[in-house]
Amino acid sequence: MEGIIFGVDLVKGSPRGKVSPGYAVYIMNDVERTFRLVSIYKLLRLMRKFRPSILAVDNIYELAENKRELISLMKRFPENTRLIQVTSYSGGESLPSLARRYGIECDSKNPIDEARACAVLASLGVGYEVSAFTEFSCLTVSRNRSLGKGGWSQNRYRRKVHHSVMRAVREIEEKLRDANLDYSVDMRRAFGGLSRGVFRIYAPVEKIPVRSAKTRDVQIKLEAVEKDNIEFIPLKKIEKYLIVGMDPGTTTAVAVLDLNGNLLHLKSERNWSLPRIIDFLKDVGRPVIVSTDVTPPPGTVLKLKKSFDAILHVPRESLTVERKNEITAGYTTSNAHERDALAAAIEGYNFFRSKFAQIEKKVPQGVDLDEVKVRVLKGSTIKSAILTDSESEVNGKKRERYRVEDIQKLRAELRKKEEIIDELERIIERMKGEMDEKDRTISLLERKLIKTKKEESYRLRKEKEIEERNKTIEILQNKIEEQRKEIHDLNNKIQMMRKFRYLELRGEWKPIKVLNRFTKDEIEKLDSSIGIKSGDIILLSDPSGGGASTAELLVKKGIRAILVESDMSHIALERLIEGEIPVIKASELDIRQIDDFAMVKKDEFEKKYKEALKEVERTRKKLSMSRLEKLFQEYRSERIRDM
């Protein structure tokens, strides 16, 4: 840990709003302190009192409205205090998510928790130092008072002030040479000496052996030179690990998730070459899992996996369109390729999700969760991955600093105890015992509270997982039951059809094809599904609605007979009779039906068929005579009109 660290989080108001901002402050030191609501002015007073090495925030623009105000504020910081923004300046991962990655408990609704998370993350080297000043400094020496209009002694007074300015400039030059610092100076001559001297020093403010000051005649002002733009310098390189879903083809799509399942990028492009895809992913982070939605995986996916030495995830079976739509529900995709890539990435994350949750429960505070997850994916056990991270070079140095601080802490505590003994010599031993007992009780209660919070959090997560699994089990059980019913119905149908086939082969029954409604669409549907050919017997369940054109379709098919369950329109009936197709009442026959198939007893049908065929002949003759008479009548009428 680097000395005293301030963690700051905005509680109310805003530098951009009408309400003045208020901040929660967490001071990380030998003795931790918290302040729930302080103004910006009190924050500066606390910084001047404790002189922190780091001021850590979630977003620098919680402190100031714009660059100008931020630089003005940073100039009022104590010397050697660095401003650190722990989250990325380009957006992305939130503070609670970043804290969870390092095993730090952080309630997003508690500003003290967020301030504490900022301080701890900064102590672990997470974040970006805000650099607003160059390595150059500007030191100005000038008069501290106006010379005025003057009087009899005006020239003597002017000479005295200008001489004081010149002497201050020479003293500063001597100090800069002794400190071996490079500089240039611009001096303005005046009566009796100098009216102004401006130094440009090639060193940061903290390395200059001169400070801003004022005397009766002279003022010295030391300032850092501002940069054109604020820069964010990472405290240490943090590699972002990725889960990549890919859908290759003429149009290639790539979906990028982090190890928490958050969508970072979703992009598709025509003729997107593999080298350009690799460059795109390198700019985002390092892929550790490459996933596809089809089995076996395409060659391009295998090449991408090999380029990053990543783990390949392939589903047991190629994902269906329905499954992909279900997985990507709630996301916005531009085309089917992006949907497929996103579905592959999410499926890959879901495959390792339970392992990630197991790791998160076991990783202690201060250890990079993503680093441990990657090591476990590569084959390490969780325990060895945690130990490897703890024994890394960076953490090793950190533990060494902690040992030095422990010694300083013991010395500080010893001094405090000596002061307490000196101040409280006259306090009785009983009172000291009571105070010690209260301290132990508070410490015990705090430990119990922390333990209770952890147990409650674990219980809630466990109950939620159980609830989700129970819902999944219930859905799957319902699907199984539906499939069982469907299988049962199909088995019954199969048995019935076998029985029909057996009876047909024995010659006792004849097969019938079932037409549900007497419409053109139904006739075409039956013809396309099982076929209607010459000599077929058709069972018409609902003969209403059919006309001459509908009957014409069946006549053209050359069917043998039609069995009806109710009356048919006389127009359709006449067309069927003209086509020599008898229409027989189904109720007069013994018919067995299953879906689009039925059976009728052969003997009964042949008997009824012959009778119906004779009736058709008689009806045809009657129709012919009727039509002939009608033609004769029409002819006679026309002759009468002509005469």
Q: What is the pLDDT of residues 205-221, one digit of tens each?
A: 888 888 888 888 899 99
The β-bridge relationship of strands 5-12 and 22-28 is antiparallel
Mean pLDDT lowest among 111-125, 188-202, 268-282, 492-506 = 492-506
pLDDT given for residue 388 in this prediction: 64
Greater confidence (478 vs 621) lies with 478
Which residues have C-beta within 8 Å of that of residue 163, sequence separation ≥ 6? 192, 193
Rounded percentage of the chain residues whose pLDDT exceeds 70 = 86
**Is the model's pLDDT at 42 over the cut of 70?**
yes
**Is the model's pLDDT at 105 over the cut of 90?**
no
pLDDT given for residue 393 in this prediction: 38
CB count, 10 Å around CB of 161?
A: 23
Contact by Cβ (8 Å): 567, 584: no
Task: Please state the pTM of the whole predicted model.
Answer: 0.42
Q: Is 134 helix (H, G, I), strand (E, B) or coil?
A: strand
pLDDT given for residue 400 in this prediction: 34
CB count, 10 Å around CB of 557?
A: 18
pLDDT given for residue 149 in this prediction: 58
Greater confidence (355 vs 495) lies with 355
> Average pLDDT of the chain?
83
Instruction: Give φ, ψ of 267 to 5 degrees.
Output: -145, 145
In this prediction, residue 596 has a pLDDT band, given cuts at 50, 70 and 90, of low
pLDDT given for residue 1 in this prediction: 44
Mean pLDDT lowest among 15-29, 212-226, 499-513 = 499-513
Mean pLDDT of 182-207: 87
Across the strands, what pairs with 291? 245, 313
In this prediction, residue 504 has a pLDDT band, given cuts at 50, 70 and 90, of low
In this prediction, residue 525 has a pLDDT band, given cuts at 50, 70 and 90, of confident
In this prediction, residue 291 has a pLDDT band, given cuts at 50, 70 and 90, of very high
**Is the model's pLDDT at 398 over the cut of 60?**
no
| pLDDT per position as a tens digit, 363-397 | 776 567 888 888 888 888 877 777 665 554 334 33
**Is the model's pLDDT at 531 over the cut of 70?**
yes
- Output the CA–CA distances (angstroms, integers) from residue 511 to 491, 504, 539, in the order listed: 20, 7, 10
pLDDT given for residue 595 in this prediction: 66
